[in-house]
Amino acid sequence: MKVGLVQQKNTADIPANIQKLQDNIRKVAAMGAELVVLQELHNGLYFCQTENTELFNQAEPIPGPSTETFGKLAKELGIVLVLSLFERRAPGLYHNTAVVLEKDGSIAGKYRKMHIPDDPAYYEKFYFTPGDLGFEPIDTSVGRLGVLVCWDQWYPEAARLMAMRGAEMLIYPTAIGWESTDTDEEKKRQLNAWITVQRGHAVANGLPVITVNRTGHEADPSGQTNGIQFWGNSFVAGPQGELLAEFTNDQEEVRVVEIDKSRSENVRRWWPFFRDRRIDAFDGLTKRFLVK
């Protein structure tokens, strides 16, 4: 299966961002992509650098304007498309939500981000209610997609539950970057940790992993920090953690990567981790911590 990845720089001009996304989606579709994945909160800037109630006005219902606009494009191009949207569920209730559009433009399913960070420049708990749809894969014409979002990528439990429910691949729309005061050594450690943990999910579950991050510098509107330099490095890993593609960290890129879905079956026969799991001894995983 051919997967299109769109790594993009955004500005405050949302209509221009959306137009660029559409142009890039057309590019990868013309290259044969059957599935296209976009970065986290792709319509605008990463607005969570500050806490500002006015920014809730950027949220939209699902179905809504974005699912309609991108749904028409998915239908025109005959692709499955993974969106990442700021969902307005009800007054005062908002989610960071991934939406999967089928080839006919309809909504195949959605996933609400479960793990919500609250760190300097990533004040997501102010904006997003934790997801309540669980770790459920979304069935599409190109397979069962285990869609998660950004901060979820650090949690092996999330990847495992998606795999246990039959996901054929794990997909992570992402917005992550460096703070300018970090040393070069620290930046390298952070990036390597991010890649390593997700390659580990691929290995532990015998599944491909598709991660699409944004790139470019986005200023802190408050001026309290020097903003975020999003580190790009979108990548695809195979079911043994092998890197099938790795993007640059500071450039916009679109690329199509071929995934052999049958390879997962063979890898799981060679490395039968699901067979050997000690499910009788895992009760402690449902606890916050075990040392009293």
Q: Which residues pair with 258 in a beta bridge?
A: 2
Tokens at 59, concatenated: 């949220």
User: What does the alpha-carbon distance between residue 131 and residue 115 come to, in Å, rounded to a whole number?
Assistant: 8
C-alpha torsion sign, points 228, 231, 236, 238: negative
**Active-site amino acid positions:** 40, 113, 150
Burial letters 47-57, b for 16+ CB under 10 A, else e: bbbeeeeebee
Q: Is-cis flag, bond preceding 63, omega within 30? A: yes
Q: Is the separation of the CB atoms in 170 and 135 below 8 Å?
A: no
User: What does the alpha-carbon distance between residue 285 and residue 130 come to, in Å, rounded to a whole number?
Assistant: 19
